[in-house]
Structure 1
Amino acid sequence: MFFYHLFIQLSFSYLGTFTFGLFINMPKKALHTSSLIGMLGWLLYWTIYRLALGSILANFLAALLVGLLGIFCSIKKKMPTTMFSTGLVPLVPGASGYQALAAFINAQTTVAVSKTIHVAMVAGAIALGYVTAQVIADVFYRKSRPR
């Protein structure tokens, strides 16, 4: 049963990233790589979340992985790093945002505020993870560049 769930998680995270890349008209030579990066980021998120370490930490580490892999692939493929940022798509807290909005509409103020704060924290963790990857790459590049 575990491998069935793993297969579902991997295939849908790949397909979600792939279709988003198609939607924004991403170049074909970056589409497959970006989808693999999104799948690996989701796999890390899903593993950490299933280990009950929290969704904030899971999103941060997954975004960090997506950022580092995106930078690595941008160097290898000689493309802008932003081509591989679509790997963040599976991490976006869409369901939580929907639940927060539904709670606001149904006048469940306490639940709505709680969900909204959670969405903001997850979005912040994703942004912080991605920026941290860029900072790590910048520090590494400065040390490896000859003066």
Structure 2
Amino acid sequence: MTLYHFLIQATFSYLGTFTFGLFINLPQKALNSSSLIGMAGWLLYWFIFKLGYGSILGNFMAALLVGILGLFCSIKKKMPTTMFSSGLVPLVPGASSYQALSAFINSETTTAISKTIHVAMVAGAIALGYVTAQMIADLIYKRKNV
């Protein structure tokens, strides 16, 4: 893991989130923040994965970070949190989904089922991480208002 690899991962995760934000027509004041959040989430996932903890835990922790950073940005910029959820885009298991579909097409049933289960677990980890961030925010908000 060199500085070169870190810069490549950071640059392309930022650009990927940025172009997705352009594609879905995010407001200009949310575009850079959302891209930075996506980059931070991807880098956390990448570090956890490189440390050997696996993609499920990495995606959960990265989605949790994206959710928490999105909440902070939504408060700071006075915008809905959904404007910053595009930070989850780098975490989407697109390559695994493609491999699962390819295995189904090539009649490699065992590989296809294995890849499909992995995709479902990664997607579940992303959803669970993001929902956990929302629940944490709700608990903090309720305590401040009580």
How high is the TM-score relative to the length of structure 1? Answer: 0.98
Which residue does the alignment assign to 1:19?
A: 19
Which residue does the alignment assign to 2:10?
A: 10
Which string of whole-angstrom CA distances, capped at 9 and with x for unpartnered residues, describes residues 58-80 of structure 1? Answer: 00000000000000100000000
Which residue does the alignment assign to 2:104?
A: 104
Gaps of 5+ in 2: none
- In the TM superposition, structure 1's runs of 4+ consecutive aligned residues that sit over 3 Å from their partners are none
d(CA) in 2 for partners of 1:6 and 1:105? 35
Pairing 1:131–2:128 present: no
Which string of whole-angstrom CA distances, capped at 9 and with x for unpartnered residues, describes residues 51-108 of structure 1? Answer: 0001000000000000000001000000000000000000000000000000000100
- The residue type paired with residue 81 of structure 2 is T
- The residue type paired with residue 104 of structure 1 is F
- Please state how far the C-alpha of 1:144 moved relative to its aligned partner: 1.2
Which residue does the alignment assign to 2:88?
A: 88
Which string of whole-angstrom CA distances, capped at 9 and with x for unpartnered residues, describes residues 98-129 of structure 1? Answer: 00000000100000000000000000000000
How high is the TM-score relative to the length of structure 2? Answer: 0.99
- The residue type paired with residue 73 of structure 1 is C
The SS at the match of 1:52 is coil
d(CA) in 2 for partners of 1:54 and 1:24? 30
Gaps of 5+ in 1: none
| RMSD, matched Cα | 0.7
The SS at the match of 2:74 is helix
d(CA) in 1 for partners of 2:98 and 2:25? 26
Equivalence map 1:40-119=2 (5 Å):
40-119=40-119
